[in-house]
Structure 1
């Protein structure tokens, strides 16, 4: 008698995890954060509710981890050969590196797979301070720190003033993009983000 190999529990767990991620992101895009439930995610993913609670304590944890995973997929897809240890390209040309990253951000935020759940999570963050703090600490701030480190490297290279605060400086190009996207106040394009980099690095005074 030929013995069948034992089921691979690792593979089964990963398959379930991915199904839960997909279900969570789809549901929050369709129904919004408030109406998304653990029960709904489990039903959509085809797993038991206890499976979700074995890995996460709340729907916020599920959704944030699913969104972090989605963001990670984008980061891997746009990684440049010159990528530095900070996770942002470091070619020695700060303007080019920032244009590259912001163009990749445009592709990400305009992708319906990313945009719909991102808007739902952003809306929940407006009404729930606790949820907003989780989003900031687990998702946004780690990404912003990549800009901080790249700007610090530019300071060390003499390309940026040493007296500026990198955490404030990055807001000159990141915040306008986020604001335009959130409030739909204008078109989002490569030309727009290229202009943000130009204005942030060169200012508004005549040259």
Structure 2
């Protein structure tokens, strides 16, 4: 894997080729952004939403975190990074869609399923444990029926995590209002690293189906 110093060579190549070829577009982007879609995805290095969805700079507004989670709307003191990103995308950029995109082999979802990090000190897994504990309620039926290890249980946890984030998005009053008025659409998706298949959530059935 490349170091940052090695990546600088990549930047130089980008600057000499793609940036020059798309210079007019970059000049337009310098005037502002107007994406129609927000994507909430995992921080995992293997799942870059821009690459997976084949979009150009300026086309999606992205927030990435462990397990692509959205916490519920809260007014308690703290630093609400995801909430700030959602607020900015919905209220200021006026995005028309929010896509929560989970993925296969997600370490955050695995940690939520096994609860191996629960009880760890902060800095030793405690931050991760506290973040993914918002999946504890969703975990219970999965653990009861499929156990806490194995790919089947992990996949079920990954898919359920997407649904939890979509549910939590609807707890934001302005999100709920815009969904109700038809100004905003919420979508769920799951990208499988091993086979490259993107599955999209059907709101009516609650099932994820491979895209054509």
- TM > 0.5 between the two? no
Q: TM-score when scaled to structure 1? A: 0.30
Q: TM-score when scaled to structure 2? A: 0.29
Larger Rg: 1 or 2? 1
